[in-house]
Structure 1
Amino acid sequence: MKKFWMIIFLLSTWVVNAQILEKTAINLGYRYTGRNVLQAGLEFRIGDSSYKSLVLGPSMLYTRINREDKFLPEANIYYTNNGQLYGVSINQYALEPRIGISLFNIFFLNTGYAFPIHKEKYFKGITFGIQFNIAPAKASKFYDQMKMM
């Protein structure tokens, strides 16, 4: 009986992991936030609607500050609605609300404003960015499907 429940538990975790991977993507991006910043991380899509969804995830930022390499953690959340993108990200130096466009959740083009929250204002002012999302699953539900008429 114990083996039966163990097999059921293992199968259920396998199914849950498969569903999580279907809605997950790896993001690679570039942003200008008062300085050049490279970004890499994960994105997870919540919602089954074809064009309205919530995308959230952690990222790691790379930049040079005072001739020193810095790797900074960041958390972001986006709401996509028919190609429109609204979001916010936060790291240890700034809070950044963003607006932009989403092309089938493959590309995010955005602009925003970085509000410094640290005494050292490394990130401040108007920002611009592009993000490319790569889904690891072949039949990914992360991307929006193009509707044919």
Structure 2
Amino acid sequence: MAGAGDLIQLVMGMLLSSVTGCVLAAYHRDWEISLEAGMKYFLVGALVLVGLFFKLGALPAHTWVLDLAEGAPVPSAAFLTVVPKIVGAVALYRFVKLVPEDIAPVRLLVAIVAAATMTLGNLCALLQDDVRRLMGW
């Protein structure tokens, strides 16, 4: 995703990374919370801009990260709450560079989503008593 030269490569990279992350999130097949986390990770991560926001843990899809952190095994949760955010940030940068500013105000949208995510995430994290869900916020 980080090396995408056009939007088709970016979408294909997102879909491929969502499939592998889904397997890691739903590793405990007998635990219902783990299966739910895997399905949510795949379904939300497959849409382009919402998928990037999900991988970053941004506002429109931030609550799914909590379920992923709680439902996935501890090593998978640690991996899936850090690495996709790094890749997602680079991919979002590439996406903003690929979309012309006169067609869509993507930079303004990213700024608004970033401010709202930081505000809401910090306020909601104050109310958490579960450590894994706190890390998701």
Structure 2 length as normaliser, TM-score?
Answer: 0.28
Q: Which has the higher contact order (CA 8 A, sep 6+)?
A: 2
More helix by share: 2
Tell me which structure has the larger Cα radius of gyration. Answer: 1
Which is strand-richer, 1 or 2? 1
